[in-house]
C-alpha cells in the first residue's frame, strides 16, 4: 500500500474556542464542520484550506482534561510559499515563538516553530 496524501490530523485541545481562533486567524484554516459525539461529551471541529478535502485538521475537545504540555501531537506542519513573509506576519501577532529564527535544514527546507493554544508545536516550512 502506498500512502499518497495525508487525510487529516486529530489534535486534543483543552479550549476549543481558543484553538479555533488560533487555527483560523493565525494559520488561515477555515472551519468546515463542527458537531458533538458521545452523547455531547466530545466536540469535533474540522478545519481545512479553501474548501479542499486535501488536508484537514480535526480538533477534539472533551474526554481527557489532562493533556501533556505539548498536546496530544508532537507537531503539525504547514507548507508556506514565502517563509520570511510568514515569519514576519506571525511576529506581528500575539503568537509564542519556539524558534528564534528561520532554520535551513540539510535537505534545503526552511522552517520555524510557534506554539499553539495547548502548547502544541506548529511548524511552518518552505520547500
Dihedral-angle region of residue 51 (phi above 0 means left; psi in -120 to 50 means alpha; beta otherwise):
left
Give the integer Cα–Cα distance in Å for 90 and 14.
23
Q: Given 30, 58, 85, 123, which residue is catalytic?
A: 123
- Pairing type for strands 96-97 and 103-104 reads unpaired
C-alpha dihedral (10, 11, 16, 20), degrees to nearest 10: -70
The length of the chain is 127
Q: Is 123 a catalytic residue?
A: yes
Q: Which three cell numbers stand for residue 122?
A: 506548529
| Residues with active-site annotation | 123
Amino acid at each position: 500500500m502506498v500512502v499518497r496524501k495525508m487525510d487529516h490530523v486529530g489534535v486534543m485541545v483543552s479550549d476549543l474556542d481558543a484553538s479555533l481562533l488560533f487555527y483560523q486567524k493565525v494559520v488561515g484554516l477555515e472551519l468546515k464542520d463542527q458537531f458533538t459525539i458521545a452523547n455531547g461529551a466530545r466536540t469535533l471541529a474540522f478545519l481545512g484550506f479553501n474548501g479542499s478535502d486535501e488536508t484537514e485538521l480535526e480538533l477534539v475537545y472533551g474526554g481527557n482534561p489532562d493533556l501533556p504540555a505539548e498536546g496530544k501531537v508532537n507537531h503539525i506542519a504547514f507548507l508556506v510559499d514565502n517563509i520570511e513573509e510568514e515569519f514576519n506576519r506571525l511576529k506581528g501577532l500575539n503568537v509564542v515563538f519556539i524558534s528564534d529564527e528561520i532554520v535551513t535544514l540539510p535537505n534545503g527546507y526552511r522552517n520555524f516553530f510557534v506554539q499553539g493554544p495547548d502548547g502544541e508545536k506548529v511548524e511552518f516550512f518552505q520547500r
